[in-house]
């Protein structure tokens, strides 16, 4: 259980969380933001796995993609809400 929580927290504070939020704030389209967040999640996992799929674990990849999508959609929501204030 601590391994899963550590992976989630690490991804939130790493590239999928921070860069996903920043990329999401650059668009007003939620679908595009979700795709950008997923790409960031996959790229971060591949970078830390030395660019080989043999070193990628399915749980880490899925958590990174999910965190990237959620962060990017949050960034998009911030942008959409910020323009209507």
**SS3 of 73, please?**
helix
**Interval 6-55: pLDDT, tens:** 888 888 888 899 999 999 999 999 999 999 999 999 999 999 888 888 88
Give the pLDDT confidence score for residue 68 in this predicted structure.
94
Residues contacting 67, CB < 8 A, separation 6+? 8, 11, 12, 16, 17, 20, 41
Helices (H), 1-85: 2-12, 15-24, 30-48, 58-83
Its domain, for residue 38, covers: 2-83
State how many domains the chain has. Answer: 1
**Interval 48-71: pLDDT, tens:** 888 888 888 999 999 999 999 999
Per the confidence metrics, is the pTM higher than 0.95?
Answer: no
């Amino acid at each position: 259980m601590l391994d899963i929580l550590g992976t989630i927290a690490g991804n939130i504070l790493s590239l999928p969380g921070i860069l996903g939020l920043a990329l999401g704030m650059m668009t007003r389209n939620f679908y595009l933001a979700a795709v950008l967040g997923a790409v960031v999640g996959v790229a971060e996992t591949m970078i830390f796995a030395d660019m080989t799929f043999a070193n990628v674990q399915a749980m880490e990849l899925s958590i990174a993609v999910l965190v990237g999508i959620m962060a990017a959609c949050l960034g998009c929501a911030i942008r959409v809400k910020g323009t209507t204030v």
